A and B are shown apart, each in its own frame.
Chain A
């Protein structure tokens, strides 16, 4: 679609994405511009790759950046790429607004958080996965034992059925007090 100069999405696609994600067409256009900006390496195809996402300086510096990009690419994209529609779907989960679609519910957000932990998709966070996240987040050269202690403690806190893994229900229950909806939302520019 006019690869050299395409700054605009096809109208019908735009509309379908809008209705699906709840973005206004203005927001979506802005997002599309951003999407193309990110895809500098390969401007012609409508895809973003892992590397392109990691090119963003802040993302690569962020302790969870790598993992997040993994989640986005693997869970929402296909074949290590993500197209604009999928991209918009990811972001739509964090859209804050009056209109609630089935994308930006609290549960979706919790699931997204959960999927950051749960990389083997067995809908359980086991000790190993938690350790991985903790290492990324705590950073520094902290002794493995300490990290293990923290991980064990965390699991014990959340784990209510004693199987030493955290299921999604257990995960949600302990986060009931945190205003996930509020924290996991952002304003998209118009």
Chain B
């Protein structure tokens, strides 16, 4: 459905473009006849026509891709490349009918292809090349890329030439050299097509890298063969001497090694350049891209393999650049690369379809059939021979199924097509047949093989790529295995790949890293392990962010001695890691990630700051609360100043941009928290129901800790709470209208906290608390010392809670306070704050400075939730009477 809609839109868009084209010409002609007058507005399409067309193409491509992915069923069945080609065909058909196909911008031009469309794709492939599997399988890849391609070329060439002598081609003459030219371009597996198909079927890394690596590296061979046969054809078959063949063979080494060398040189220079970009981090992504592109252009200039150059350039850069450039630049580079390659791929496939519709065809059924068949057959034969050959030295042998997928994955694509397009028709008279046959082969491979390879992989049960989260233990053990195997290989004296890798790594560390990195890595330090750890930390932080509401109590429980979390308190797998991480570090450090970076170099301070910023922007609920929590602990034991300072400091540079988006999340999470929160209150209530005696802060802390723990246990049985909560929710609305003590308070406070979306769950908490809490002052007070334990609880309820404990005069005051419109809208009773706030004026000052009134006004509502807890510290300072009341309440 979506599909059709978006297609219609696309066609309309195109129609608009065509319409514009005509309009332009008409108006232009029209203007000639008229006397020259000043124009208020001018229609000047010529001025922008080329760029306009290109931009529209990009737009069309992006929209098409967006449209395809709206329909899950469509993309599941057909690979994207097929859909794009189809779209191209449709558009091409339209253009053909409207006779616009002659327009230059609409045809895949091989210059455009090789200079603009191809490099980003290959660079992306090189940059994100999984190095380890690539080098582990390098022998196989090279064998397939070089020898297999050669084998295919020769076989296909000979077959076609052989069949040309039979009447099967309709007696069209094909001379031998042009057959070989054609074979050279058709035999090479296409990296773009392989990439597009294989990223969708998720086979295991080894299989993927063997096929993809082959398609990348065979470029050198196919380029050489193509040029060689092409120039042979120009020289003429009868003029060839032995020397030409020798030079041709020689040129293979020049083209391949030259390409690799240029790539590595540019990569190294790029890394070296980024060593000095400390003060201009904005340019870092550009520098990387430009160097890579330059590598490609340079190698094209000296006619060596540009694909090899840009691949290796990307691979070299990836190794070192990410250590030098800032994290933002790194992310930008990766993103830009992905974006560019994605859109280029889209355009290439679209152009493929588009260029098909033209007059430059000459269909020769016999020729096309023979070509397709020989491509298929020799691919299978070639793989069978060379994979078995490779198995002689491979550690992990290629199975039959692997071989089948490898041969089936031998897709041809746009490179072959563009090469066919630039054939010289005067030298190669059968160009049209070649182009047609190439298109036929490409379409056959992309459509038939591309569509069926997914199901084939599934039904043959090919080992899939395991998408696993990086775990520290896995990384550690992986590392360990490397070391152990290296050692064992040395001991056994059979120098295998492990010891080779170890030598490379030593070389890398001792020389390249030293020259190319801003900071010389420490002797023998395993950066990768540390990086993994950082990444895991980051991910746990993200998880905390995502489940922030659910996690809120965990820090407090983790603040408990580790025995608490060491026992069977494992609430849910999502944040088990993080809470345990916390448990391992607390009570000294609330957020261990930050401490981790402390004692490292200046770069790590930057990391630290970024981590701060990250946690800041995302964990804003949990963090200040944690600070509050720490503070209340501090009252008894003067520790933790450091981490507290951090929290306070970081509070200043909170980023408000994130908040609107958090709003919705907060809303959705609110429900959950309502559940868990209510569960916690209830259970904690039942436990400490007897504790109605006056309490101090430390007691409050204990209570809340207990409740946090009980809450953890409660999380194990969510369904009951869900059910009960649902019932509560249903009943809560009408009941909230008539709370016993302050009937209008909840209704009044709701609009202030969330103007647009009245939150239901908090209301349900009101009910819960009213039921449970009335009997026990201790629990409520404990909650008050942990205001974050409850979400946006309407404050009338809190006032109600404070009444049993405090005196009613206080409540009257706070209520009037809330009703006063000039004062802060977030109405809070003094009971929201434990004595910790009142006892530390400098702490309040901290928050008083941060929450300026205008700042508050500009904030989205969700901030108010938090402000509710901060605000009154402001107010209490202003309002001395209320401050006194606060003390009265909290101290009792």
Say whether B492 contacts A183, CB under 8 Å. no
Partner of A137, one of B479, B492, B521, B567: B479
- Given the known A-B contacts A56-B491, A187-B494, are A94 and B485 also in contact in the complex, defined by CB atoms under 8 Å? yes
B53: interface (CB < 8 Å) = no
CB distance from B494 to the nearest CB of A (A): 5
Q: Which residues of A from 94 to 151 have beta carbons under 8 Å from B?
A: 94, 96, 112-113, 116, 133-134, 137-143, 145-146, 148-150
Measured between beta carbons, the chain A residues less than 8 angstroms from B599 are 143, 145-146
Say whether B581 contacts A142, CB under 8 Å. no
> A140 to B528, alpha carbons, bound, how many Å?
13
Say whether A137 contacts B480, CB under 8 Å. yes
Say whether B491 contacts A153, CB under 8 Å. no
Say whether B529 contacts A152, CB under 8 Å. no
B424: interface (CB < 8 Å) = no
B487: interface (CB < 8 Å) = yes
Partner of B471, one of A38, A56, A174: A174
Say whether B478 contacts A183, CB under 8 Å. yes
Measured between beta carbons, the chain A residues less than 8 angstroms from B493 are 30-31, 33-34, 37
Say whether A188 contacts B494, CB under 8 Å. yes
Measured between beta carbons, the chain B residues less than 8 angstroms from A178 are 474, 477-478
Say whether A162 contacts B567, CB under 8 Å. yes
Say whether B473 contacts A154, CB under 8 Å. yes
Which of B495-503, B773-781, B872-880 forms contacts with chain A?
B495-503
CB distance from A54 to the nearest CB of B (A): 10
B484: interface (CB < 8 Å) = yes
CB distance from B536 to the nearest CB of A (A): 7
A58: interface (CB < 8 Å) = yes
CB distance from B541 to the nearest CB of A (A): 13
Measured between beta carbons, the chain A residues less than 8 angstroms from B247 are none
> A138 to B478, alpha carbons, bound, how many Å?
13
Partner of B480, one of A33, A133, A156, A182: A133
CB distance from A18 to the nearest CB of B (A): 16
B43: interface (CB < 8 Å) = no
Q: Which residues of B from 777 to 821 have beta carbons under 8 Å from A?
A: none
Q: Which residues of A from 7 to 63 have beta carbons under 8 Å from B?
A: 30-31, 33-34, 37-38, 53, 56, 58-59, 61-63
> A116 to B482, alpha carbons, bound, how many Å?
13
Nearest to A174 among chain B residues (CB) is B473
> A156 to B558, alpha carbons, bound, how many Å?
14
> A149 to B598, alpha carbons, bound, how many Å?
13
Say whether A156 contacts B584, CB under 8 Å. yes
Say whether A183 contacts B481, CB under 8 Å. yes
A86: interface (CB < 8 Å) = no
- The interface residues of chain A, by DSSP majority, are classed as helix
CB distance from A130 to the nearest CB of B (A): 9
Say whether B525 contacts A94, CB under 8 Å. no
CB distance from B876 to the nearest CB of A (A): 39
Say whether A175 contacts B474, CB under 8 Å. yes
- Given the known A-B contacts A113-B484, A146-B596, A178-B478, are A156 and B492 also in contact in the complex, defined by CB atoms under 8 Å? no
> A123 to B395, alpha carbons, bound, how many Å?
31
Say whether A185 contacts B473, CB under 8 Å. no
Measured between beta carbons, the chain A residues less than 8 angstroms from B521 are 140
Partner of B472, one of A62, A143, A154: A154
B566: interface (CB < 8 Å) = yes
Measured between beta carbons, the chain B residues less than 8 angstroms from A79 are none
CB distance from A68 to the nearest CB of B (A): 5
Say whether A142 contacts B525, CB under 8 Å. yes
Measured between beta carbons, the chain B residues less than 8 angstroms from A56 are 490-491
Assign chain A's interface to a size class.
35 or more
Say whether A141 contacts B491, CB under 8 Å. no
CB distance from A20 to the nearest CB of B (A): 17
Measured between beta carbons, the chain A residues less than 8 angstroms from B488 are 68, 90-91, 94, 186
Say whether A116 contacts B480, CB under 8 Å. yes
Nearest to B521 among chain A residues (CB) is A140
Say whether A153 contacts B480, CB under 8 Å. no
Partner of B494, one of A112, A154, A186: A186
CB distance from A25 to the nearest CB of B (A): 16
> A183 to B136, alpha carbons, bound, how many Å?
11
B5: interface (CB < 8 Å) = no
Most chain B beta-carbon contacts within 10 A, residue among A63, A138, A153, A178: A153
> A45 to B310, alpha carbons, bound, how many Å?
57
B580: interface (CB < 8 Å) = yes
Measured between beta carbons, the chain A residues less than 8 angstroms from B461 are none
CB distance from A57 to the nearest CB of B (A): 8
> A174 to B471, alpha carbons, bound, how many Å?
9
Nearest to B567 among chain A residues (CB) is A162
B166: interface (CB < 8 Å) = no
Say whether B522 contacts A58, CB under 8 Å. no
Partner of B491, one of A38, A64, A148: A38
Measured between beta carbons, the chain A residues less than 8 angstroms from B536 are 153
Measured between beta carbons, the chain B residues less than 8 angstroms from A116 are 480, 484
B577: interface (CB < 8 Å) = yes
Nearest to B585 among chain A residues (CB) is A149
A5: interface (CB < 8 Å) = no
Say whether B476 contacts A134, CB under 8 Å. yes
Say whether A63 contacts B483, CB under 8 Å. yes
> A143 to B477, alpha carbons, bound, how many Å?
21
B171: interface (CB < 8 Å) = no
Measured between beta carbons, the chain A residues less than 8 angstroms from B524 are 63, 139-140
Q: Which residues of B from 562 to 583 have beta carbons under 8 Å from A?
A: 566-568, 570, 576-577, 580-581, 583
B331: interface (CB < 8 Å) = no
Say whether A139 contacts B491, CB under 8 Å. no
Measured between beta carbons, the chain A residues less than 8 angstroms from B502 are 58, 62
Partner of B523, one of A34, A58, A134, A139: A139
> A53 to B487, alpha carbons, bound, how many Å?
10
Say whether B596 contacts A149, CB under 8 Å. yes
Type the 1/0 row for B266-288, where 1 means its CB is closer than 8 Å to any CB of A.
00000000000000000000000
A157: interface (CB < 8 Å) = yes
- Given the known A-B contacts A145-B595, A157-B472, A177-B466, are A139 and B526 also in contact in the complex, defined by CB atoms under 8 Å? yes
Say whether B474 contacts A188, CB under 8 Å. no
Nearest to B482 among chain A residues (CB) is A183
Say whether B581 contacts A152, CB under 8 Å. yes
Measured between beta carbons, the chain A residues less than 8 angstroms from B506 are 61
Say whether A137 contacts B476, CB under 8 Å. yes
> A53 to B488, alpha carbons, bound, how many Å?
10
- Given the known A-B contacts A58-B490, A149-B585, are A113 and B477 also in contact in the complex, defined by CB atoms under 8 Å? yes
Say whether B489 contacts A186, CB under 8 Å. yes
CB distance from A52 to the nearest CB of B (A): 10
Q: Which residues of A from 50 to 85 have beta carbons under 8 Å from B?
A: 53, 56, 58-59, 61-65, 68, 72
Most chain A beta-carbon contacts within 10 A, residue among B490, B492, B577, B583: B492
Measured between beta carbons, the chain B residues less than 8 angstroms from A63 are 483, 524, 526
CB distance from A53 to the nearest CB of B (A): 7
Say whether A58 contacts B566, CB under 8 Å. no
Say whether B486 contacts A183, CB under 8 Å. no
Measured between beta carbons, the chain B residues less than 8 angstroms from A3 are none
Say whether A141 contacts B522, CB under 8 Å. yes
Say whether B525 contacts A140, CB under 8 Å. yes
Measured between beta carbons, the chain B residues less than 8 angstroms from A142 are 525, 530
Partner of B487, one of A37, A59, A154: A59
Partner of A182, one of B395, B473, B533, B576: B395
For this complex, 19 residue pairs linking A to B, each with C-beta atoms less than 8 Å apart, are A56-B490, A63-B524, A64-B483, A64-B487, A68-B484, A94-B488, A133-B476, A137-B476, A137-B529, A139-B523, A142-B525, A149-B584, A152-B580, A152-B581, A153-B472, A156-B581, A174-B471, A177-B466, A184-B485
Interchain residue pairs A-B with the least CB separation, the first 10: A140-B525, A152-B584, A34-B493, A139-B524, A140-B522, A156-B580, A64-B483, A58-B490, A143-B599, A154-B472
Q: Could you list which residues of chain A lie within 8 angstroms of chain B, going by C-beta atoms? A: 30-31, 33-34, 37-38, 53, 56, 58-59, 61-65, 68, 72, 90-91, 94, 96, 112-113, 116, 133-134, 137-143, 145-146, 148-150, 152-154, 156-158, 162, 164, 174-175, 177-178, 180, 182-189
Known interface pairs A53-B491, A152-B585, A153-B577; 7 further A-B residue pairs with C-beta atoms within 8 A, sorted by A's residue number: A30-B493, A59-B491, A68-B488, A157-B577, A175-B477, A177-B468, A178-B478
